[in-house]
Amino acid sequence: MQDLQQLKQQALNEIRNANSTSTVEQIRIKFLGRKSGLVTKIIQTLPSLSVDQKKRLGPLANQVKHNINQALNNKIIALKSPDHQTGEFFDTTLPGIRPEIGHLHPITLVSREVEEIFKSMGFQVHEGNELTDLHYNFLALNFPKDHPAMDSYDTFFIENKEKDIKLENKRVMRAHTSNMQVKIMESKKPPLRVIVPGRCFRNESTDASHEHTFYQCEGFIVDEKISVANLIYTLKEFLKAYFKKDEVKVRLRPGYFPFVEPGFELDFECMICGGKGCPVCKQTGWVELIPCGMIQQNVFKSAGYPKNKYTGFAFGMGLTRLAMMKYGITDIRLFMSGDLRFNNQF
């Protein structure tokens, strides 16, 4: 029995190394030759064995013979194929010929990811305009005229064609994507579930962590009977989906934004250190990510909705910041640099 298995292995090895049909023929004679083939000889001894041994060795011997035969035949087909007959060395290790590969911008990629999650939760994606006015950017959002709350928005003012323009019509580059809240509400009635990813502008000097042009994603829900508990649920579900975790710990702190009441800062527990404190969370264990809150009734008033009929919540998040976190980008200026050494990495 041992002999049969060894013979089979030996035969298959020799067949593999054979490089001409004549060698293959010699191997056939050596193992399966009618008179003195090594396997044939064993088969010829079979009738003289006991019934027990016959039962054991008979089928095995036939199996070995069949395997060797098949390998011989396959080898002959391979040797006769035209590809082999050229005889030239074919180097499969040379690199493949790639089609030219294009790249999407990291902000596009992150924005799509965020959009996908919110779309799956029934949100519609809007974009809106970037050149807006003080009305939509601030006043309709319950910012009092020339209030210090506007200071932190460092807004770019844009020339108007007309002279003696009213304050609310003064043109600005949107300082946040919240500029679309009232605009969308004006054109649609609740229930509303909307996100607005897009480009925003703040008049700040640029350095590794500051950019005057960056991307945000605004979101809001308006309906009857929307609660703070709904806000927490929705944003927690988003974070779970975005970070692909079964559970994400969040905390809500007070934050002040005139267009929400109450306003919150939503932090999530740092996933790098698990809340113990590390450079990413500035040793606090928490990462500040989503300013949010319940929409102020005056915002509904700006949109022409009846008083106290609807409630809703709004939130915002920095897409540029998400992209920096996701890819470990440490210099914010690279996003708008147009440098292909950066853009082509994504």
According to CB under 8 A, which residues from 212 to 251 bind other proteins?
212-213, 221, 223, 225-230, 232-234, 236, 251
Residue from 256, 272, 276, 331 binding other proteins (CB under 8 A)? 256
Residue from 52, 83, 100, 164 binding other proteins (CB under 8 A)? 100
Q: Which is nearer to other proteins, 65 or 193 (CB)?
A: 193
Between CA 40 and CA 301 the distance in angstroms is 99
Is 311 among the residues that bind other proteins (CB under 8 A)?
A: yes
- C-beta of 291: minimal distance to other proteins in Å? 9
Is 157 among the residues that bind other proteins (CB under 8 A)?
A: yes
- C-beta of 21: minimal distance to other proteins in Å? 43
- C-beta of 157: minimal distance to other proteins in Å? 4
- Pick the piece of the chain touching other proteins (CB under 8 A) from 17-25, 38-46, 87-95, 121-129: 121-129
Between CA 126 and CA 184 the distance in angstroms is 9
- C-beta of 96: minimal distance to other proteins in Å? 15
DSSP 307: T
Residue from 37, 265, 268, 270 binding other proteins (CB under 8 A)? 265
Report the alpha-carbon angle 254-307-150, nearest 5.
40
Is 159 among the residues that bind other proteins (CB under 8 A)?
A: yes
- C-beta of 311: minimal distance to other proteins in Å? 6
> Cα 201 to the chain's mean position, in Å?
26
3-state secondary structure (DSSP) of residue 68:
helix
Is 181 among the residues that bind other proteins (CB under 8 A)?
A: no
- State the sign of the Cα–Cα–Cα–Cα dihedral 243, 247, 251, 252: positive
Is 310 among the residues that bind other proteins (CB under 8 A)?
A: no
Half-sphere exposure in the Cβ direction for 289 (13 Å, CA): 27
Is 45 among the residues that bind other proteins (CB under 8 A)?
A: no
Is 331 among the residues that bind other proteins (CB under 8 A)?
A: no
Q: Using CB under 8 A, count the residues that bind other proteins.
A: 80
| Beta bridge pairs of residue 210 | 207
Is 102 among the residues that bind other proteins (CB under 8 A)?
A: yes
Residue from 91, 151, 162, 246 binding other proteins (CB under 8 A)? 151
Long-range contacts of 144-151 (CB under 8 A, 24+ apart): 144/258, 147/258, 149/256, 149/257, 149/258
Between CA 178 and CA 257 the distance in angstroms is 11
Residue 305 CB neighbours (<10 A): 20
Residue 134 CB neighbours (<10 A): 22
Is 139 among the residues that bind other proteins (CB under 8 A)?
A: no
